[in-house]
Amino acid sequence: MYRSHNCGELNASHINKEVTLAGWVQKSRDKGFIVWVDLRDRYGITQLVFDEERSSKEMLLQAQNLGREFVIQVKGTVIERASKNPNMPTGDIEILVSELTILNEALLPPFTIEDKTDGGEELRMKYRYLDIRRNPVKNSLIFRHKVTQEVRNYLSKEGFIEVETPYLIKSTPEGARDFVVPSRMNAGQFYALPQSPQTFKQLLMVGGMDKYFQIVKCFRDEDLRADRQPEFTQIDCEMAFIEQEDILNAFEGLTRHLLKEVNGVDIEKFPRMLYDDAMRLYGNDKPDIRFGMQFGELNEVAQHKDFGVFNSAELVVGIAVPGGNAYTRKEIDQLIDWVKRPQIGALGMVYCRCNDDGTYKSSVDKFYDEGDLAKWAEVTGAKAGDLICVLSGDKNKVRTQLSALRMEFAERLGLRNPKEFAPLWVMDFPLLEWDEDTERYHAMHHPFTSPKPGQLELLKTNPGDVKANAYDLVMNGNEIGGGSIRIHDKETQALMFDYLGFTPEQAKAQFGFLMDAFQYGAPPHGGLAFGLDRLVAILGGQETIRDFIAFPKNNSGRDVMIDAPAAIDDAQLTELSLKLNLKS
């Protein structure tokens, strides 16, 4: 065998034991008469020693010529280390090598294989197989494995059955663009890669598999960012004969289990927040509640004077920044420039200092007196020493802008502790949202989401007011899961398709298989899907997901390691009945 032990397990109890190790050369230190080599594998590092008194000249020379990342095997004796390293599990011992075998030489890596490397992100993605050798990436992948195993164990104990669903399916409108796959055997026709297993898990409920889950790849051809990949992984779940409360309890239980087993954190009960309240208090539907700075709507106390900017605004809204009165005028001007950036889009910002002596000083003192500003402080919850920041304009836009500013302050003030976890449910989303480009309603989640009980008739009169029987699980300002109670009868589903602008023929062509299945006794059902990549990253104390994915793609959707996507040759195009029409 290549090794009797790994490089992370030997300690003082193994002294005088003969062992065999194998791994990569992390680094070596050559003093001429003695050579130390750090040998690394997945489990840790063990120091090897070669010296002129106890090693042959040939072996000492061989050791002196070992390069970084050479793959070697050694046999030797565990001895006590003269200069111990208390920071290493193997720091009390070293291996006096009696036999050295070079299994494979290596080129000098393009970046150092160390925790703090000198390689940029694009370079490390190109050589991802080397990057995985570094502890941060290696440990992230091991952490993902642990989370995934805990998910499987928990759901299996709760009676869920893991069922695989197809990857080659039919293209259906679910909000994002599909990745399509041409069919050689059916010329001119295409499969789509699933954006989610939505319709299949509903069919599994019709099939009587009343508790289903799957850890599954999903695919969406959309613009990318640090926490989004074209292929991503869901923990996809569905249950039959349930109501919303059953779903919330089941997956709150799973999340509590993960927090406890993976992070050692106990959370008794997750708070619940209505979508409308989340937008009113935080400006987005995935609020980070680890800190305050809730929005205060100021229309009633700010639109009674001659300040036209506020008077013409649909919404005047502010936040109280704790300790913000310490900001200098220069720093506040920089914040104003920050909200004016195109990414935020605000036209400006009004501010008010809450002085320690109980007085107020604002950038609009010409229009507002101390009594007015005291009301601003009351509405926003500002205290002495705080800074009130106010934005105004279109309701939806200004909430988004102030939400971004709130998160920026949280970053600057160190309020987003990655080791603190604040989950909550956001509930009662709008069922439909109006799209200005197409001038029609679209499903906010997907076409199979059920309206809240008793609101079906509202579809005929005020479709924009209908609430969905839908819920998102949010943690630390990120949506980690979302789902809904589904429509399970053909008539309601047909009505939903009608309001979404599908003709009966289009609905039949796209979803006829599901409508047909509903005629054979579909049970009430609902579910939830976690974004595994994002969930693992947050549990691991990070916001971005790439280090928790073995081979991620860059922001252009490219795998720079294997150079994909790539062109295919003319013979393949002909075989697939495809003709390219590329425009420069």
Residues 90 and 211 in one domain: no
Total length of the chain:
584
Residues 491 and 401 in one domain: no
Residues 445 and 378 in one domain: no
Residues 319 and 428 in one domain: no
211-225 core/surface letters (b: 16 or more CB in 10 A; e: else): bbbbbbebbbeeebe
Question: pLDDT tens string for the chain (584 positions)?
Answer: 899 999 999 999 999 999 999 999 999 999 989 999 999 999 999 999 999 888 899 999 999 999 999 999 999 999 999 899 999 999 999 999 999 999 999 999 999 999 999 999 999 999 999 999 999 999 999 999 999 999 999 999 999 999 999 999 998 765 678 999 999 999 999 999 999 999 999 999 999 999 999 999 999 998 776 678 999 999 999 999 999 999 999 999 999 999 999 999 999 999 999 999 999 999 999 999 999 999 999 999 999 899 999 999 999 999 999 999 999 999 999 999 999 999 999 999 999 999 999 999 999 999 999 999 999 999 999 999 999 999 999 999 999 999 999 999 999 999 999 999 999 999 999 998 877 777 777 788 788 899 998 887 787 788 888 899 999 999 999 999 999 999 998 888 888 888 787 888 888 888 889 889 999 999 999 999 999 999 999 999 987 899 899 999 998 899 999 999 999 999 999 999 999 988 76
Q: Give me the domain span that covers residue 406.
A: 291-413
Q: Is 168 annotated as a binding residue?
A: no
The amino acid sitting at 431 is L
Evaluate whether residue 127 is within a structural domain: no
CATH (domain of 483): 3.30.930.10
Evaluate whether residue 99 is within a structural domain: yes
Evaluate whether residue 126 is within a structural domain: no
Residues 312 and 397 in one domain: yes
Residues 409 and 432 in one domain: no
The domain tally of the chain equals 3
Closest C-alpha to 2, from 71, 52, 51: 71
Q: Is 575 annotated as a binding residue?
A: no
Evaluate whether residue 36 is within a structural domain: yes
Q: Is 406 annotated as a binding residue?
A: no
Spatial neighbors of 32 by CB under 8 A, at least 6 apart, are none
Q: Is 532 annotated as a binding residue?
A: yes
Evaluate whether residue 283 is within a structural domain: no
Q: Is 238 annotated as a binding residue?
A: no
Residue ending a domain, among 365, 389, 413, is 413
Angle between helices 532-539 and 135-157 (to 10 degrees): 110
40 neighbors 112 (Cβ within 8 angstroms): no
Residues 267 and 335 in one domain: no
| Lookup result for tokens 């989303």 | 429
* Sequential DSSP letters for 513-556: HHHHHHTTTPPPEEEEEEEHHHHHHHHTT-S--GGGSSS---TT
Residues 216 and 146 in one domain: yes
Residue ending a domain, among 389, 413, 437, is 413
Residues 307 and 325 in one domain: yes
The H or E element spanning position 407 is helix 395-412
- Residue 211 to residue 335: CA distance in whole angstroms: 50
Residue 173 has what pLDDT?
66
Residues 468 and 515 in one domain: yes
88 neighbors 526 (Cβ within 8 angstroms): no
Count how many Cα atoms sit within 13 Å of the Cα of residue 82 in the half-sphere of its side chain. Answer: 4
Evaluate whether residue 567 is within a structural domain: no
- Residue 101 to residue 84: CA distance in whole angstroms: 26
CA angle (496, 497, 500) in 5-degree steps: 90
Evaluate whether residue 146 is within a structural domain: yes
Residue ending a domain, among 413, 444, 466, is 413
Strand stretches in 155-194, DSSP E: 161-162, 180-182, 190-192
Residues 487 and 399 in one domain: no
CATH (domain of 79): 2.40.50.140
- Residue 550 to residue 456: CA distance in whole angstroms: 45
Q: Is 531 annotated as a binding residue?
A: yes
- Residue 396 to residue 482: CA distance in whole angstroms: 22
- Residue 132 to residue 379: CA distance in whole angstroms: 51
DSSP 8-state assignment for residue 124: H
> Residue 35: is it exposed, middle or buried by C-beta count within 10 angstroms (0-12/13-18/19+)?
buried
Q: Is 222 annotated as a binding residue?
A: yes
354-390 core/surface letters (b: 16 or more CB in 10 A; e: else): beeeeebebbbeebbeeebbbbbbebbebeeebbbbb
Q: Is 3 annotated as a binding residue?
A: no
* Sequential DSSP letters for 228-293: B-SEEEEEEEEEES--HHHHHHHHHHHHHHHHHHHH--------EEEHHHHHHHHSSSS---SS--
Q: Is 26 annotated as a binding residue?
A: no
Evaluate whether residue 190 is within a structural domain: no
CATH (domain of 353): 3.30.1360.30
Closest C-alpha to 325, from 373, 386, 410, 374: 386
Residues 344 and 430 in one domain: no
Q: Is 220 annotated as a binding residue?
A: yes
Six-digit token pair at 106?
């290596």
